[in-house]
Amino acid sequence: MSDERRRMAGGLDYRHGRIELWHGSGGRAMAQLIEELFETSFDNPFLARRNDQACFEVGAGRLVMTTDGFVIAPLFFPGGDIGCLAVHGTVNDIAMAGARPLYLAVAMIIEEGFPLADLKAIVASMAAAAKAAGVAIVTGDTKVVERGKGDGIFITTTGVGVVPAGVEISAERARPGDAVLLSGSIGDHGVAVLSKRESLAFETELLSDCASLHDLVARMVEAVPGIHAMRDPTRGGLAALLNEIAQQSGVGIALNEDAIPVAPAVRGACELLGLDPLYVANEGKLVAFCAAEDADRLLAVMRAHPLGRDAARIGTVVEDSRRFVQMQTGFGGHRIVDWLAGDQLPRIC
């Protein structure tokens, strides 16, 4: 249908239209938004039944469930946007349990005045990401808040998946002697987003790494069902993830900085801004902890997958009652890799 005809037929005006308060008020405007935008884009039989919930069969096995809120500025960044991020993020949280993701639910809080064209682009991006990940967005909710009471759009996604029998991946299961494997270069997402922040604007060809990792995980679990722990390094970067695992498993981790892949563009931007790539966010990487004897096999499987091409063994779990993450620096010295207090900030000295 052409824009012209759509407008004549009273359809959504994506070219000039904006979200208004009544798009969230439960009336006809909301019904129209759901029907024309969400149902068409997410297109699946659950949504088409227009219930306030989705009802589906589950097979035997254990279910995993997770939820995540997405707040990001800017909403569109090189290599992605808040829409695909909201899908990848939740799919990945499910996948990190070794599970196969099945269904997502989405809640959107949209600020009055938000351009319909942007909303359409975000929804299209979510739909594409969900389709690629083989998950259906089966139920959702939309609220509109007054202008000034939101930051454009907030998205929350909740997901469920099933874990195959025999898989028991959990953050407290890392053991001294375990190998630490990283699926690829760090910092790409954070630097891509930073490059678009007003006032920090710098030229980079870098794209966010945001991707759904469930397929990579499926191969990994198939090869080594006994993976001990797995997590994706998002906010707080690799450093936060390693500290979390050390904390929860009651172990120390010894890293080798030389083994950690970093793209030259990330390295350059970090040097310029005085940031440490270990603390920069990622959206399409994972870290796995497995028994030393499984490490080579697991690494080979990861490297054979497009999302794990640059996978590397970056360190080893050690005994340490203080639960420190320590690192042999590329420079030849050593240091702790600590949690970050507050945000990482560009240097002013």
Partner 1 sequence: MSTVRFIDEFRDRTLAARLAEGIAAAADTGRTYQLMEFCGGHTHAIFRYGVQDLLPANVKMVHGPGCPVCVLPMGRIDHALQLAREHGVILLTYGDLMRVPGPERMTLLKAKAEGADVRMVYSAMDALACARANPGREVVFFAIGFETTTPPTAIVLRQAKAEALSNFSVHCNHVLTPPAITSILASASDQESAEAPRLDGFVGPAHVSAVIGYRPFEAFVRDHGRPVVIAGFEPLDVMQAILMLVRQLNDGRCEVENEYTRVVTRDGNLKAQALMADVFELRDSFEWRGLGWLERSALQIRSPYAAFDAEKRFPLKSAAIADNKACECGAVLRGVREPVECKLFATVCTPENPIGSCMVSSEGACAAYYTFGRARPTMAPALADAS
CA distance 117 to 107: 19
Q: Pick the closer one to partner 1 by CB: 159 or 252.
A: 252
- DSSP helix/strand/coil, 256: strand
**DSSP label at residue 115:** B
Length of the chain: 349
Q: Pick the closer one to partner 1 by CB: 212 or 344.
A: 344
Q: Pick the closer one to partner 1 by CB: 155 or 180.
A: 180
Q: What is the dihedral of CA 120, 48, 9, 4, to 10 degrees?
A: 30
CB 274 within 8 A of CB 211: no
Residue type, 203: E
Q: How far is the CB of 325 from partner 1 (least distance, A)?
A: 10
Q: How far is the CB of 336 from partner 1 (least distance, A)?
A: 5
Residues in contact with partner 1 by the rule CB under 8 A: 184-185, 197-200, 252, 254, 256-264, 267, 274, 276, 309-310, 312, 315-316, 318, 320, 322, 324, 326-336, 338, 341-343, 345-349
CA distance 302 to 282: 17
Q: Pick the closer one to partner 1 by CB: 79 or 161.
A: 79
Which H or E run includes 32? helix 28-33
CA distance 290 to 294: 6
Residue type, 42: F
Contacts of 331 (CB under 8 A, 6+ apart): none
Q: Pick the closer one to partner 1 by CB: 166 or 332.
A: 332
Q: Pick the closer one to partner 1 by CB: 136 or 239.
A: 239
CA distance 124 to 38: 9
Q: Pick the closer one to partner 1 by CB: 33 or 266.
A: 266
- DSSP helix/strand/coil, 300: helix
Q: How far is the CB of 88 from partner 1 (least distance, A)?
A: 20
CB 247 within 8 A of CB 345: no
Q: Pick the closer one to partner 1 by CB: 110 or 255.
A: 255
Q: How far is the CB of 152 from partner 1 (least distance, A)?
A: 17
The values of phi and psi at residue 124, to 5°, are -60, -40
Tokens 């994706």: give the residue: 232
Q: Pick the closer one to partner 1 by CB: 23 or 189.
A: 189
Q: Which two tokens stand for residue 266?
A: 């990330």
Q: How far is the CB of 334 from partner 1 (least distance, A)?
A: 5
CA distance 294 to 76: 40
Q: How far is the CB of 309 from partner 1 (least distance, A)?
A: 6
CA distance 285 to 309: 11
Q: How far is the CB of 30 from partner 1 (least distance, A)?
A: 33
Q: How far is the CB of 216 from partner 1 (least distance, A)?
A: 16
Tokens 């497009």: give the residue: 306
Strands 136-145 and 100-111: parallel
Q: Which two tokens stand for residue 130?
A: 């969900």
Q: How far is the CB of 227 from partner 1 (least distance, A)?
A: 20
